Chain A
């Protein structure tokens, strides 16, 4: 495998990682902690929104993030011919 392809693969990986980590940060540290008071004026499923993110929502998003990552990475692996 050429250096160019390797670099391309690593760049694609890093850019996906960063996007997903931003979401990871926003739903937990953002919605569940930093903006919890602001979000608490809204409601979801009978629970204040900020509180819901802190005790429920963030966990659901984490699960979704990992499965999305595995699907996207499989594609990126194949595009660069490095799948296992």
Chain B
């Protein structure tokens, strides 16, 4: 069987599995739709959380980022795992004890205010839509590269699948498809990683391969990379280029942002008991760590392989993957010195991302790049996102591995998209309609609204996937920054401070939100030329500004609280109740 057939087979079988689960898990009440009836086993929930959390960004982009950033890539590894410690220790058990359906539910009840609930809905929707646009784009890229289908068709297929299990099965359908998707994605990630680790170092465990010697050289993987990269004019792989304060702020923003993401938090509403919420966070991190500790090894191997295969190779002799990705516009080569060979060096090869002349080929058969060349000796542009997808080809692995990676990246993108769409739809049907606008609707009507909201959200997400706003990459920072600066502090103070009141929490969320959005907009969209360390507050880049936004939130909230009335008696009782585990109403088993 050729690669194409195999890929169709793998993707087809995995999709059939998801649809089967969708039909099996059809739900009949809002409690099942929002939180799967509260009866999910903690290990199962841990696995579903891992798939929910690990998106196209984790599966496709992160390894490439680490490969090209080296030590600086650590911010993603620590940031996207350390958040689970905060979640397990500071939020999950208490929110499970609270025992309702959504994050705005908690903020609305704890701060006895519809306005607080509305601000929380606003934050949730901005965060979740920016995030889901990226997932749908990931689906489109995979379809177009692996199945050679138009991006539009790819996105539509993805939408249809998510529609089936999210609209029919709600949280219950999503939970069990996420378990299946986790299995697909972790298998698809680790199999090529083991192959590549064997090829490069002879050690089958990638985590150990990272420190092993490159076959027949007597130097370890990282030593080899350090030497090679310095020779080519890059920084050493194990040393960063970002300032310590920026690394610190980005890591903190990603950690706190992770803990504040509504689609992750809400997963902990689905387990039967408070102690289950704690242990479930532990299992989630185990399942995440399997991929996250493998990623730095894969990144390092990929960078070595990339340099070996491409640098100083004549264009005619470059491997097929190089030309395939060039055809998609994700690799671009300009033969600046006219020697017909690809020189890979530090610095941008030309300004911006490559634009090509239609249907024209250069003297060596390459696509003709029309961008203005830079003075650097580098001739090749490579999109970081292709590393994981190209890895099986670069390492010359068998065709079925290639097909597996396609199915895995789709699983990663779809599982996260579904989780996001669910929190969007439940915040609309539950928080906006049932709790704010039309409290008189029945459970059946609310369920119908939830399904409608999910369907509309899928439509919007699909539209964003087909017509991606140019700023998708930039807005991921926004999603984390916003979660860190708005929702996380409000929830944390709601649990750990008896005195924090409505006025303080609302003022805190709004100022955190505006500060963070303002800073990111100013540097990313209004004045991209000024986006350099010299102009940043305390040398903190827009990616890390959520950390400062969080501090702003805490300070404003505290100041306003001091000047306004303390919360009413009932809130004191609510706080007492969420602080102890006993009495957390049991869920039912599936």
Given A66-B84, A74-B275, A82-B580, are A59 and B293 also a contact pair (CB < 8 Å)?
Answer: yes
Residues on the B chain within 8 Å of A44, using CB: 211
Residues on the B chain within 8 Å of A6, using CB: 576, 579-580
Query: A63 to B282, Cβ gap below 8 A?
Result: yes
Given A66-B281, A69-B278, A77-B275, are A59 and B78 also a contact pair (CB < 8 Å)?
Answer: yes
Query: A67 to B282, Cβ gap below 8 A?
Result: yes
Query: A56 to B582, Cβ gap below 8 A?
Result: no
Per-residue contact bits, chain A 58-74, to B (CB 8 Å; 1 contact, 0 not)? 11101101110110011
Residues on the A chain within 8 Å of B425, using CB: none
> A83 interface residue, CB < 8 Å from B?
yes
> B296 interface residue, CB < 8 Å from A?
yes
The dominant DSSP class at the A interface is helix
Residues on the A chain within 8 Å of B293, using CB: 56, 59-60
Per-residue contact bits, chain B 45-85, to A (CB 8 Å; 1 contact, 0 not)? 00000000000000000000010000101100110011011
> A10 interface residue, CB < 8 Å from B?
yes
Query: Contact partner of B252 among A29, A48, A73, CB < 8 A?
Result: A29
Query: B278 to A62, Cβ gap below 8 A?
Result: no
> B483 interface residue, CB < 8 Å from A?
no
Per-residue contact bits, chain B 208-220, to A (CB 8 Å; 1 contact, 0 not)? 1011110000001
Output the least CB separation between B492 and chain A (Å).
12
Query: B85 to A66, Cβ gap below 8 A?
Result: yes
Query: A70 to B275, Cβ gap below 8 A?
Result: yes
Q: Which of A31-69 contact B (CB under 8 A)?
A: 32-34, 36, 40, 44-48, 51-52, 54-56, 58-60, 62-63, 65-67, 69
Bound-complex Cα distance A54 to B72 (A): 9
Query: Contact partner of A55 among B84, B296, B579, B582, CB < 8 A?
Result: B296
Query: Contact partner of A46 among B220, B252, B580, B584, CB < 8 A?
Result: B220
Query: Contact partner of A62 among B213, B285, B579, B580, CB < 8 A?
Result: B285
Which chain B residue lies CB-closest to A13? Answer: B579
> B247 interface residue, CB < 8 Å from A?
yes
> B391 interface residue, CB < 8 Å from A?
no
Query: B275 to A21, Cβ gap below 8 A?
Result: no
Output the least CB separation between A33 and chain B (Å).
5
> B568 interface residue, CB < 8 Å from A?
no
> B279 interface residue, CB < 8 Å from A?
yes
Query: B248 to A54, Cβ gap below 8 A?
Result: no
Given A10-B579, A63-B285, A82-B581, are A54 and B211 also a contact pair (CB < 8 Å)?
Answer: no
Residues on the A chain within 8 Å of B210, using CB: 45-47, 55-56
> B274 interface residue, CB < 8 Å from A?
yes
Query: A34 to B77, Cβ gap below 8 A?
Result: no
Query: A69 to B238, Cβ gap below 8 A?
Result: no
Query: B582 to A33, Cβ gap below 8 A?
Result: no
> B292 interface residue, CB < 8 Å from A?
yes
> B222 interface residue, CB < 8 Å from A?
yes
Output the least CB separation between A35 and chain B (Å).
10
Query: B82 to A28, Cβ gap below 8 A?
Result: yes
Bound-complex Cα distance A29 to B279 (A): 24
Which chain A residue lies CB-closest to B42? Answer: A70
Query: A34 to B244, Cβ gap below 8 A?
Result: yes
Query: A73 to B74, Cβ gap below 8 A?
Result: no
Residues on the B chain within 8 Å of A4, using CB: none
Residues on the B chain within 8 Å of A74, using CB: 275
Query: Contact partner of B89 among A21, A29, A59, CB < 8 A?
Result: A21
Which chain B residue lies CB-closest to A47? Answer: B211
Given A28-B82, A48-B238, are A84 and B583 also a contact pair (CB < 8 Å)?
Answer: yes
Given A54-B78, A59-B78, A84-B274, are A20 and B84 also a contact pair (CB < 8 Å)?
Answer: no
> B416 interface residue, CB < 8 Å from A?
no
> B273 interface residue, CB < 8 Å from A?
yes
Query: A84 to B282, Cβ gap below 8 A?
Result: no
Output the least CB separation between B207 and chain A (Å).
6
Bound-complex Cα distance A48 to B239 (A): 10
Per-residue contact bits, chain B 298-315, to A (CB 8 Å; 1 contact, 0 not)? 000000000000000000
Q: Which of B258-310 contact A (CB under 8 A)?
A: 273-275, 278-279, 281-282, 285-286, 289, 292-293, 296
Output the least CB separation between A47 and chain B (Å).
4
Given A33-B248, A40-B238, A59-B292, are A65 and B85 also a contact pair (CB < 8 Å)?
Answer: yes
Bound-complex Cα distance A64 to B238 (A): 26
Given A56-B210, A63-B289, A69-B278, are A32 and B78 also a contact pair (CB < 8 Å)?
Answer: yes
> B88 interface residue, CB < 8 Å from A?
yes
Bound-complex Cα distance A56 to B71 (A): 12
> B251 interface residue, CB < 8 Å from A?
yes
- Name the residue in A48, A51, A55, A66 with the highest tally of chain B Cβ atoms < 10 Å from its Cβ: A55
Query: B208 to A17, Cβ gap below 8 A?
Result: no
Other 16 A-B pairs with CB < 8 A, given A6-B580, A34-B244, A63-B286: A9-B580, A10-B579, A13-B579, A21-B89, A46-B220, A46-B222, A51-B71, A54-B74, A55-B73, A62-B285, A66-B89, A69-B89, A70-B282, A73-B275, A82-B580, A83-B581
**B residues apposed to A, CB below 8 Å:** 66, 71, 73-74, 77-78, 81-82, 84-86, 88-90, 93, 207-208, 210-213, 220, 222, 238, 244, 247-248, 251-252, 255, 273-275, 278-279, 281-282, 285-286, 289, 292-293, 296, 576, 579-584
**A residues apposed to B, CB below 8 Å:** 1, 6, 9-10, 13, 17, 20-21, 24, 28-29, 32-34, 36, 40, 44-48, 51-52, 54-56, 58-60, 62-63, 65-67, 69-70, 73-74, 77, 81-84
CB<8 Å pairs between A and B, sample of 16: A24-B85, A33-B244, A33-B247, A45-B210, A46-B212, A47-B220, A48-B222, A51-B71, A51-B238, A54-B77, A59-B289, A62-B285, A63-B285, A66-B285, A70-B278, A82-B581
Give me the 3 closest cross-chain CB pairs, A-B, nearest first: A46-B211, A54-B74, A66-B282
